[in-house]
Structures are given as C-alpha cells and as structure tokens.
Structure 1
C-alpha cells in the first residue's frame, strides 16, 4: 500500500513473538501537532539502521489526500482513508480540539476494536474514543485540565487523572502532551520488550520511563475559605506552617469551641484542619524545592514536616514523586547544588 512503512520480518526473531506489526493513526481537524508528532516519532520513523523493527505505518483521515487542519495553522494531508484503520494491530487517535466527530470515523474505530486492534489515544484523543463508545466501564486518563470535562461528557468512563498513562488491556490512553511519549513507549515495552523501548527512547533523547504521575505537574491553588470568619486564622497558619498546631489551639485563636471550629473549618475550606495544613506544607515545600538550594532537612523544617523522612512521606503521597525527583525536574536554578 503506497505511503506505508512495512515491517521487515527479518527483525522479528530478536524480539520473540511480535504482537505489534502495523500501526495506523487517525487524524481529524483541529489536530494537535505535538501529540501527532509523538505518534509519528515513536511508530513512524524507520530505525532499521539501529536494528529496530519498522512498523507498517499509515496516517488516516476521512479521505485520502484531504488536508486536515491543525491548531498550529498548518495542514496535514493523510495518504490513507478510514479503510486503513480496521486492519491495523494498533490504532492511534491523535489529540484534537474537536468535541463533535464524524460518524464514519467513530464507526471505523469501533470496527478496529471489534477486529482485535489495540486502541491508543493521546491527550484529548480520548474524547474521540468516548464518542465511539469505547470508554464504557474502561479505565482511562487525559490531561488533568480536561479530566472533569471527560467525566461529565462520559460518566461511564473510569477517569484516572493522576496517571501519565493508563493501560487497560486493548485500550491505552495517554495524558497531556509529553505524556503521550510515556504511553507510546509503554506500549512498545509491553509488546516488544524493554530493550526495544529503551533504544527508541535513547534515540528520542527521552527517559524510557518516568516516575510519578500528573499530580506533580498540576498547579495547586491555595484553598480559600468561602467566608471571612476563618480568614485571619488561615492567614496566620500560612505564616506559621513550621510550628505544630492542634485543633484546640486553633479554636482558641478563632475564639470558638473545638467542635464549632472543626465544623466551621470543614464548611469553609472543604477539608479538615489536619488535611488543610498538610496540603499547605506540601505547597510550601514545592516552592522551596523549586526556588532554593536548601537541603531536604531544611526544607522539611521550614515546611513544618520536621524531618526529611516525613517530608518524603507526605510529598510522595500528595504528588506521587519523591522531593528530590521533583526538584530535579522543576528547580528554577538548576546550576545550584542542594546543601
């Protein structure tokens, strides 16, 4: 078939039983170029010079030769129509800003699923899967900014917004933007082994597998109360996170009984005093890790955790990564060395 890159069977014996030979990607209007490029980079590049398998690759649109618009102002012209989707081992759905989709594209995805294809979406491509009815009762993920929208639009889906990708067997979904790389490499690792995935990652100059999930990338706002009664206490707490605090002491500061204070706190912040303080300490620790070269003991002390061990425990539970890993990713002054 013109335009497809064929898998050279000579490469297969090195990787055992290959379950991933052909890959087709569906592109729709308002295509996200980066996410589409991730699919092309992982599955569409000929790396036979490095001894890696070459996939039977096809870019598919509603019609062959019909340009697809992108969010970046350029166009992509697929060489194949929807007929090239159902026969592939892996069908990828690139991200798009659309929320209403051509019925014929949805039908092609359902046919591909029924014929045994693994379906992979990157970022907002998961909305296409939802519209095709492929998310019913299935675990999936999406960029954290779209998680609530996905839950509202497809309440039958089990959305795991903290994950970089979710593997639900024949359905693999990647979260936002660069998390598509994680999802693609995971699928390669699952089907062709860690050696192939690692070598592709090395060629792409990316880590073969990242730690943590989306939580480390979410900007967490400081929770605000919905009334003025506790505002002075909350402001004081933020200035004194390094100290120990009890409900009894905070209630006295607010001139309330402990029972009234605890009830009012939940009503106005949506959580308990203990959880609110812990969340603020994690937020403060994030700032210190990003903007200072303080050692972990000093960060723990200033954030109110007391010890580096407690800092690691609460930080990992809240964000899914260790403080040191978070710092290495997000530190503003990367030339500074921690004390």
Structure 2
C-alpha cells in the first residue's frame, strides 16, 4: 500500500486503515511488514502534517505507483483552496495510467475528483461533507448513505472508523478472513461492517434551499444526543424564534420542534437496526427524557414500537431510503 498524505490530512481514517494492515501483517503485535507493506508519501517527501497537528514521519517523495497494489489518498480539512498540487495531480494520473487501484479515504475523494479520476463514478462521502462535495463538483455522483464503495479500480470511503472496515475488507480479499478478524479483534472492533451498511446519520440538509433552515439542520445533525431549545437554535442561526419557525414551515411544512424530534427518532431507528444497544440506551442517546417518551414518539412516527423493530426485524424501507419521509408532505401526521 502506498499512502498519499495530503496537507492537513485527517488522522483517524489514516490510523484506522494502516493499523488494520499493521495487525494483519505479522503475528501477535510485532508490527513487522511481512504480509502487508506500506509506504507513506508526500509531494516533496517532507513530514506529513495532520489536521490535528500530529506529524507522520518518515515520508518519502512519490515513488513509482507500479510498486504498489493500491494507492490510498487521504486529504484533510476543506477550505477554499485546491487540495491537489501539480506534482500530486501528475502522480495520481500516472497511477491511473499504471492501472493501480486508487482509494479515497474521507475527503481524499475530493482529491480524486479534483484530479478528474472519478468521471461517471459513484463516490462514497461522509454525510457531513456531502453538501461540500456537491457544491464543488456538481457533476459528481455522491453516495452518503453507506460506509464505502468498491468500484473496481476506485474505492472510496466515508472516513472515520469506517476506514477500518474497508481495510479489513481488503485484508480478507488478499490474506483471508482470519487475518482481517485478527486485526479488528485487537482493535476492539467486534466485526467488519459491509460497505453498504448505512452511515449512522440521516442525510437531509442538502435538499433544502433556505439558508436559515440549512444552518439550523446542520446544528441539529451535530447534536442528535441532546435536546436544543428552539430559542437557542434561533440564536445560533442568527434569527428570531418566529423567523426560524416561519422559515421551517415555508421550506418543510413542519415546525423546527417536530423536525428536531423526527431527526432524532430516525437516528434511533438506525441505532436499533444496526447496533446492540438496549432500547433504553438508544432513547437516552437520542436525547429523549425516558424510554416511555422515546417509545411513544417512535411508534407514532414509524407505526411500530422499538421492541417490534428488535423482535420482528420490521423492514421500514421507505423511511430508510427517503430521509424526508417524516417531513415533506407529512405535516399532518
């Protein structure tokens, strides 16, 4: 594996991916590069600076891409500047010509898009960066409802701990399941999640044009585990409570209170279907005062109780596919 570390790259996706390789590469925790080998590279061969300030050393300058089975591109904080310099641009195109599969981790997919290597390709992106990607690359085909995508010679991952899932997927492909499981167990990860596992978050705000509502939804999405008062939400969006409520009703035909509650209920649905947390823990994690309060609103929204979801494996396809199912045209519900 060759790692292309771009300025201010995100540390967790990098660490999760490379540690899975490290633990699969040797017996126990010896960390020798036996079954897996990796090289860290930067444009000039200088140390790589992560977004949190930690540095990675040693790094080499870009090497012949044909030396690697994969090139992993990891970028970092989004700003108004282009991510890929001319040297990196040329290197990634060289890798494509050499038919080396490219992996975009976290915002590394932005770098692949900027380089022009994702034409008509689906690209996995975190829900958090979905709107940035659409704004910068309007012709991209973003997917923000799963963890990673394997599209042959292009693999993209939403980032975070999902990078360990993608790394384990590749370790299993090349070394076998026992080595993938060994790595994850040592990392205290129970098992690898499949690429089409939904991201643990409803993705909604990219469908809203109203600036105030978009800002409010962004705040709510980042605080799913707590109940933010409407007065506080209005203050943080820079408008009055009355203006906030009016904008929500004009854009979504619901009040901000109901939107906030339903957003947290959808998160609760995800937790019930894809984690082993108890119903009580799920309710608390979604900002509800008690289990009864959570269960009552959950059943009203989805037509099934949390216990039904757990016991009968009820499939709620429409709710899972359409994040606005509870809101658009459903204000009377």
* 1:157 alignment counterpart: 140
Q: Does 1:28 align with 2:3?
A: no
TM-score (norm 2): 0.63
Residue 189 (structure 2) pairs with residue 206 (structure 1): yes
Is the contact made by 2:6 and 2:83 (CA closer than 8 Å) also made in structure 1? Answer: no
Question: How much does 1:318 deviate?
Answer: 3.6
Q: Which residue of 2 aligns with 1:143?
A: 126
Cα 1:313–1:281 change in 2 (3 A) is: farther
Q: Does 1:128 align with 2:111?
A: yes
Tell me which of 283, 293, 304 is aligned to 1:288: 283
The correspondence of residues 288-327 of structure 1 with structure 2, limited to 5 A, is 288=283, 290=285, 291=288, 294=291, 299-303=294-298, 304=300, 305-308=302-305, 309=308, 313=314, 317-319=318-320
Offset of residue 153 of structure 1: 1.9
Q: Structure 1 residues 220 and 152 mapped into 2: Cα distance closer, same or farther (>3 Å)? A: closer
- The one of 18, 22, 39 equivalent to 2:17 is 39
Q: 1:191 to 1:318 in 2, by over 3 A?
A: farther
Q: Provide the residue aligned with 1:173 in structure 2.
A: 156
| CA–CA distance in structure 1, aligned partners of residues 259 and 76 of structure 2 | 38
SS at match of 2:44: coil
Looking at structure 1, the residues matched to 91 and 142 of structure 2 have their Cα atoms a distance apart, in angstroms, of: 24
Aligned residues: 253
Residue 73 of structure 1 is aligned with which of 53, 66, 85? 53
Q: Is 1:87–1:112's contact at 8 Å kept on the other side of the alignment?
A: no
Query: Counterparts of 1:281 and 1:292 in 2: how far apart (Å)?
Result: 15
Unaligned runs of 5+ in 1: 1-22, 227-265, 321-339
Larger gyration radius, structure 1 or structure 2: 1
SS in structure 2 of the partner of residue 202 of structure 1: helix
Displacement of 1:288 in angstroms is 3.1
Q: In the TM superposition, what is the alpha-carbon distance from 1:69 to its structure 2 partner?
A: 2.2
Q: How far is the alpha carbon of 1:86 from its aligned partner?
A: 4.0
Q: Deviations over 1:219-248 (max 9, x none)?
A: 878x99x8xxxxxxxxxxxxxxxxxxxxxx
Query: Displacement, 1:279?
Result: 9.3
Once superposed, what is the RMSD of the aligned Cα atoms?
Answer: 3.9
1:56 is aligned to 2:13: no
Residues in 1 aligned to 2:88 and 2:264: alpha-carbon distance in whole angstroms:
43
